[in-house]
Amino acid sequence: MANVTLEHITKRYEDVTAVDDMNLDIEDGEFVTFVGPSGCGKSTTMETIAGLTLPTEGTIEIGGRDVTDLPPKDRGISMVFQNIALFPHMDVYDNISFGLRLREYDQEEIDRRVEEAADIVQLEGMMDRMPEEMSGGQRQRVAIARAIVRNPDVFLMDEPLANLDAKLRVHMRTELQRLHKELDTTIIYVTHDQAEAMTMSDRIAVIDSGQLQQIDPPLVCYNEPTNLFVAGFIGSPSMNFVEGEVTADGFDAEHVTVDFDPDAYDVSVGDEVTLGIRPEDVYLADGVESVEDPSAVVDAWTDVLEPMGNEVFVYLKLAQDAELRIDERDSDQLLMSVDPDVEVEEDGEIDVVLDRSRVHLFETGSGDAIVHGLD
């Protein structure tokens, strides 16, 4: 058990900086998830912690000990890999005990620890199975047992569920949470799947272009994203963004206006700002009750409807001739989520209301958040 501290960690390759001045403090026993898009540097960061890659600059401390130059095996960590990476020619027992046998523990100690680890991941009675005889989920349990058995201070998990099918992934998610509770060990977890990050972590570290964007509890990242990147990355489907500027009356864009007093916030008239609003914070104007101040009304035309069962996603165009782009949010469209029993027709004109208390404003240039929720 230990805390992990990264100070000014930078990893440069010939002409690319994969990790750029990363500073992190991970508490003892904390479950921290690194999320970010492909190639953002989250795996490289984890590999510097593991010691599989040496940072170009910076120091890493685990449990108050500088481990920057230590080989992986001496860092008190163990790691679970995306490919599961079992040794195919060894049975479960040999796989789990490999590291212990290398360190020449006595046989009784090895047996005791292997049994204990297998117990935790519920692999009893499978000790002499070969990896090829097991299912994906069972193999992943062996990989986790292999990590547990070393009794590490820190667990590193690099997309351990990415290669499992969707159902098993959800199941293993719960198991990992149980494991964390049971072991109470620091876990650093890398994923590109923000649902995994949201459900399991104590804190999420959102990484982009090698830089730490925000590290906060999941709901803080969700409700108070520090910048446009985090706002767009966390949440599925992602936040709507509308670019506009600050006027004396508040926010003004081609198709959207939201009134507020600029003096009440850290903005001045003429500032270029981006308004952000999550799909579930957009409501039909007809019979809206849940919004306290339904003053931010927007004219829209419905386009595609996506019924998801528990909700319906409605793609809205803010100009009748706007072109709908499903994959990206543009200033002339909004995505709205409504209850399935609400009747919405395709290709109709409707009014929608933005919940003022859940409107975010960002500086368009820097992307930094200005305010979360208007009065």
Partner 1 sequence: MLGGLFGRSERDPDDAESDGEQRSRPGGEQRLRTDGGATASASAGTDASILTRLRRSEFVESIPFWGPPAVLVGIFVYGAVAWNLVISLIGWDGLGQPEYTDFSLAAYEQLLVDPSFTSAFWNTLILLLVFTVLSLAVGLLLAILIDRGIRFENTFRTIYLLPMSLSFVVTAIFWAWMYNPRIGLINTALRGVGLDVLTTAWLSNPDVKLFAIIFALMWQFSGYCMVVYLAGLRAIPRDQYEAARIDGASTLRVYLRVIIPQLGASTMSAAVVLMVFALKAFDFLFVLFGVNPGQSADILSVMMYRVAFDRLQWSYGAAVATVLFAMALSVIGPYLYAQYRRGEL
Partner 2 sequence: MSRVDDLRGTLAAVDRSRAALYAVLFAMVAFYLAPLESGLATSIKTEAGFRATTPYAPPPLGEFTLAAWQVAFDRLSQGLINSLLMAIPATVLSALLGSLSAYGLTNLDWRGQTGVLVLFVAGVFLPYQSVLVPLRQFWSAVDLPSLIPLGFVGSYEGLITLSLTHAAYGIPICTVLFRSYYATLDEEMIEAARLDGASAATIYRRIVLPLSVPIFAVTLIYQFTQVWNDLLFAIVLVTDPSNQVVTVALNQLQGSFVNQYNLQMAGAFVAALPTLVVYVLFGEQFAKGVAGES
Give which of partner 1, partner 2, none residue 279 binds (C-beta under 5 to 8 Å, depending on kind). Answer: partner 1
* Selected binder of partner 1 within 3, 5, 138, 163 (CB under 8 A): 163
Give rounded-to-5 percent helix, strand, coil for the chain: 25, 30, 40
Give which of partner 1, partner 2, none residue 85 binds (C-beta under 5 to 8 Å, depending on kind). Answer: partner 2
Nearer to partner 2, 151 or 364 (CB): 151
Nearest distance from residue 204's CB to partner 2, in Å? Answer: 24
Binders of partner 1 in range 315-354 (CB under 8 A) = 327, 337
- Asked whether the beta carbons of 19 and 11 are under 8 A apart, the reply is yes
Q: What is the DSSP string of 55-110?
A: -SEEEEEETTEE-TTS-GGGTTEEEE-TT----TTS-HHHHHHHHHHHTT--HHHH
How far is the C-alpha of 12 from the C-alpha of 347, rounded, in Å? 51
Binders of partner 1 in range 49-78 (CB under 8 A) = 52-57, 68-69, 71
Nearest distance from residue 307's CB to partner 1, in Å? Answer: 11
Using CA of residue 270, residue 274, residue 280, residue 285, what is the dihedral sign?
positive
Instruction: State the Rg of the chain over Cα.
Output: 25
Q: Give yes or no for residue 102 binding partner 2 (CB under 8 A).
A: yes
Maximal C-alpha separation, the chain: 77
Which stretch in 143-151, 169-177, 239-247, 344-352 sits in contact with partner 2 by CB under 8 A?
143-151
Nearest distance from residue 182's CB to partner 1, in Å? Answer: 24
From the number of C-beta atoms within 10 Å of its C-beta (0-12, 13-18, 19+), residue 74 rates as: exposed
- Asked whether the beta carbons of 337 and 275 are under 8 A apart, the reply is no
Which stretch in 36-44, 89-97, 101-109, 360-368 sits in contact with partner 1 by CB under 8 A?
36-44
| Residue 308 burial (CB count, 10 A) | 10
Residues in the site for partner 2, rule: CB under 8 A?
A: 50, 52, 72-73, 77-79, 81-89, 98-99, 102-103, 143, 146, 150
- Residues forming contacts to partner 1 in the complex (CB under 8 A) are 12-18, 37-40, 42-44, 47, 52-57, 68-69, 71, 82-83, 158-159, 162-163, 166, 190, 192-196, 198-199, 222, 233, 235-238, 278-280, 308, 310-311, 327, 337
